[in-house]
């Protein structure tokens, strides 16, 4: 982690939200196979594919109870791509497999 960058646990809500680049990759279904996370090509049904934004962001916990809200613990679990700004703040981050890995 570079200088002057707070750990995820120290960010306030505005700082946390400002890290997001709105790529929407976190809104795709993931599979856990033998402890390794793999992304699928299936987006959440609440993801607007044109804007990359959640259609129900403020109500996502109610509308999609299975939505995994990002928090330092969930990011550390390795659910985000390695180039995600959240993941970049974790030392030795183990990113999930993306695309068609064989």
Say if residues 31 and 38 touch (Cβ distance below 8 Å).
yes
Q: What is the pTM of this model?
A: 0.80
pLDDT at 69: 87
Find the mean pLDDT for residues 19-29: 91
**pLDDT, averaged across the chain:** 88
Contact (CB, 8 A) for 15 and 31: no
pLDDT in tens, 29-70: 988 888 888 889 999 999 999 999 999 999 999 999 999 889
């Amino acid at each position: 982690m570079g200088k002057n960058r707070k750990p995820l646990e120290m960010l306030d809500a505005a700082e946390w939200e400002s890290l997001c680049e709105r790529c929407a990759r976190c809104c795709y279904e993931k599979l856990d196979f033998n402890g390794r996370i793999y992304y699928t090509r299936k987006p959440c049904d609440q993801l607007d594919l044109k804007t990359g934004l959640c259609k129900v962001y403020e109500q996502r916990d109610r509308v999609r109870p299975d939505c995994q809200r990002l928090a330092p613990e969930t990011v550390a679990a390795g659910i985000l791509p390695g180039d995600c700004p959240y993941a970049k703040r974790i030392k030795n981050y183990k990113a999930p497999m993306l695309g068609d890995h064989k």
